[in-house]
Amino acid sequence: MNLPAPRLIDPSSVPSLRWGILGPGAIAESFATTVLANSTQRIAAVASRTPAKAQAFAAAHSIPTHVSSYEALVARDDVDAVYIANQPNDHFAAAMLALDAGKAVLVEKPFTQSVDEAQTLFAHARQRGLLAMEAMWTRYLPQMDVARQLLESGALGEPRLILSDFCQDNRAVARMWRKGHGSPLWDMGIYPIALCQMVLGEPASIEARGIVLDDGMDAETTAYLTYDSGARATFTVSGVVDAPHHATIATEEGVIEFGTPFVFPTSVGVAGKGFDAPMQWWTNESPIRRHAGLVYQVTAFADYVGRGLLESPLQSHADSLACLRVATEIVRCLGADPY
Ligand SMILES: NC(=O)c1ccc[n+]([C@@H]2O[C@H](COP(=O)([O-])OP(=O)(O)OC[C@H]3O[C@@H](n4cnc5c(N)ncnc54)[C@H](OP(=O)(O)O)[C@@H]3O)[C@@H](O)[C@H]2O)c1
């Protein structure tokens, strides 16, 4: 089977938005670096509640304006869109602030702490006629588009089973173990959850077991999901050991296999059935590697703003809500309490 080429948006074909960044930490650093190197987007301002942090970030990326309050940033006339890159328990308030000021928002994952918050945020954005998008960057990576085309072509039949994992020893990453700031399931598990949701939709049943720490944080989770179509998905998420971040979609007629880690711009292969079925690969030859891949979602966001869209066609509001519902149910099954 021939693999289709990914349908990528030409960065020069989309509006050059003037971005404001809230919460200039680790991921904002990756965002700014790739946006300035690999897109036509501009960064107009950055805000941190620690003034020196905003100042240093602005200096490092030649950003003309730095401010020490989120209110000051969203009020600026030279900002079109706001990237919300602070901790998950602050995403909702920061995004609502930006929407109230008339700015479109790209909100880091995990989008909000609850389904209710996400619903409120999306309704508010829609009411104001503004794009609100979860920064589920993996959906915009080239290999995901190749996989989507393979599935849409029907040549492999229906997807039946997804196997994936996201295991990284993140014991040294403080934010992941702080109540309200994520937890391995919400922070990392949201990637396999989003992959399963993209391919199979919303599950009919969810089971999960794992390791829950004394303070209620989930450290490791194995989940088993079933779907009305008869399909199944299973994934393991661990914040205490490393594994290769693999993802496989087994279909009626064959297999789609992602290169590892499936969450970076890597590769995707397709094969028929059987031990000896040769796998054909599409491999990312672009110099855009690792977190530089964040740029694909940013270019897509600008494209959607230019087209007047209020939600992403690749991860709709309903998709984000469905993923949060799955995460919430897994936490319930585990008896965990990460927020
Ligand atoms: N897409 C990806 O691949 C990816 C990778 C890593 C993280 N993320 C997501 O990006 C978001 C930020 O993660 P990060 O690693 O960049 O975080 P980080 O570097 O630890 O901090 C980012 C910002 O969060 C606020 N913050 C940090 N520690 C805080 C604390 N103890 N209390 C209150 N606020 C605090 C600060 O905002 P102010 O400066 O404004 O105070 C800080 O600038 C999270 O939602 C995370 O899940 C995404």
Q: For the chain, what is the domain count? A: 2
Q: In this structure, are 36 and 114 located in the same domain?
A: yes
Final residue of a structural domain among 137, 171, 202 = 137
Report which DSSP code applies to 315. S
The whole-number pLDDT of residue 180 equals 83
299 falls within a domain: no
- Owning domain of residue 119: 11-137
Query: Does a structural domain hold residue 339?
Result: no
In a domain, 321, yes or no: yes
Residues 22 and 71 in one domain: yes
Q: 137 CB less than 6 Å from ligand 1?
A: yes
- Same domain as 149, residue 97: no
pTM: 0.98
Q: Is 103 a catalytic residue?
A: no
Six-digit token string for 147: 């996989």
Which residue's CA is the nearest one to ligand 1's atom 34?
87
Last residue of a domain, one of 89, 105, 137: 137
The verdict on 160 and 128 lying in the same domain is no
Give the domain-ending residue among 137, 171, 201.
137
Contact by Cβ (8 Å): 225, 203: yes
Token pair, residue 240, equals 């205490």
d(CA 272, ligand 1 centre) in Å: 42
Terminal-to-terminal C-alpha distance of the chain: 46
Note whether 212 and 169 are same-domain residues: yes
Measured from the CB, is residue 85 less than 6 Å from ligand 1? yes
The 10s digit of each residue's pLDDT in 153-178 is 999 999 999 999 999 999 999 999 99
Strands (E), the chain: 18-22, 42-47, 65-67, 81-84, 104-107, 132-134, 159-167, 205-212, 218-226, 232-238, 247-251, 255-258, 267-271, 280-283
- The per-residue pLDDT for 234 is 98
- Is the residue at 307 inside a domain? no
Closest atom of ligand 1 to CA, residue 186: 47
Q: For residues 204 and 246, state if they share a domain.
A: yes
Mean pLDDT of 178-182: 88
User: For the residues 199-215, what does the mean pLDDT come to?
Assistant: 97
Ligand 1 center to 181 CA (angstroms) = 8
What would the pLDDT profile of 15-48 be if each residue is shown by its tens digit? Answer: 999 999 999 999 999 999 999 999 999 999 999 9
Q: Do the bridges between strand 104-107 and strand 81-84 make them parallel or antiparallel, or are there none, so unpaired? A: parallel
| Residue 126 included in any domain | yes
Q: Is any atom of ligand 1 closer than 6 Å to the C-beta of 180?
A: no
- Where residue 84 sits, what CATH number does that domain have? 3.40.50.720
Task: Select from 70, 82, 86, 111 the residue to mutate for testing ligand 1; criterion: most ligand atoms less than 8 Å from CB.
Answer: 86
pLDDT band at 182 (very low <50, low <70, confident <90, very high): confident
Q: Residues of the chain with pLDDT > 70: what percent?
A: 100
> Does 218 lie in the same domain as 199?
yes
pLDDT digits (tens, 9 = 90+) for 232-257: 999 999 999 999 999 999 999 999 99
Task: Using most ligand atoms within 8 A of CB, pick from 21, 22, 27, 68 the residue to mutate for ligand 1.
Answer: 27
Establish whether residue 51 lines the binding site of ligand 1, counting it when its CB lies within 6 angstroms of any ligand atom: no
Instruction: Point out the catalytic residue in the list 53, 103, 109, 273.
Output: 109
The single-letter DSSP state of residue 271 is E
Q: With CA atoms as reference, report the closest residue to 321 among 126, 94, 174.
A: 126
**Do the strands 218-226 and 132-134 form a parallel or antiparallel pair, or are they unpaired?**
unpaired
Whether residues 125 and 148 share a domain: the answer is no
222 domain-assigned: yes
Domain assignment present for residue 304? The answer is: no
Q: How confident is the model at residue 91 (pLDDT cuts 50, 70, 90)?
A: very high
Tell me the average pLDDT across 185-207. Answer: 98
Residues 186/327, Cβ–Cβ less than 8 Å: yes
* CATH, residue 183: 3.30.360.10
Tell me, in angstroms, the distance from the centre of ligand 1 to residue 110's CA: 11
**Euclidean distance between CA atoms 39 and 45, whole angstroms:** 17
Instruction: Report whether residue 50 contacts ligand 1, using a CB cutoff of 6 Å.
Output: yes
* Cα–Cα distances in angstroms (integers) from residue 305 to residues 124, 160, 248, 295, 324, in the given order: 17, 35, 33, 15, 24
Distance 87 CA to ligand 1 centre (A): 5
- Closest ligand 1 atom, residue 291 Cα: 3
Residue-level pLDDT at 331: 97
Closest ligand 1 atom, CA of 86?
Answer: 24
CA of 117 to the centre of ligand 1 (A): 19
Q: Ligand 1 centre from 27 Cα, in Å? A: 7
Same domain flag for 123 and 99: yes
Mean pLDDT of the chain: 97
Mean pLDDT of 83-100: 97
Q: What is the pLDDT of residue 111?
A: 97
Asked if the structure places residue 3 within a domain, the reply is no
The answer to whether residue 2 scores a pLDDT higher than 80 is: no
Does residue 188 sit in the same domain as residue 72?
Answer: no
pLDDT given at position 316: 98
Q: Are residues 179 and 52 in the same domain?
A: no
pLDDT, tens only, 295-320: 999 999 999 999 999 999 999 999 99
Task: Say if residue 132 is in the same domain as residue 157.
Answer: no
Look at residue 11 and tell me whether its pLDDT is greater than 80. Answer: yes
Contact 108 CB / ligand 1 (< 6 Å): yes
C-alpha of residue 51 to centroid of ligand 1, in Å: 16
Residue 122 has pLDDT above 90, yes or no: yes
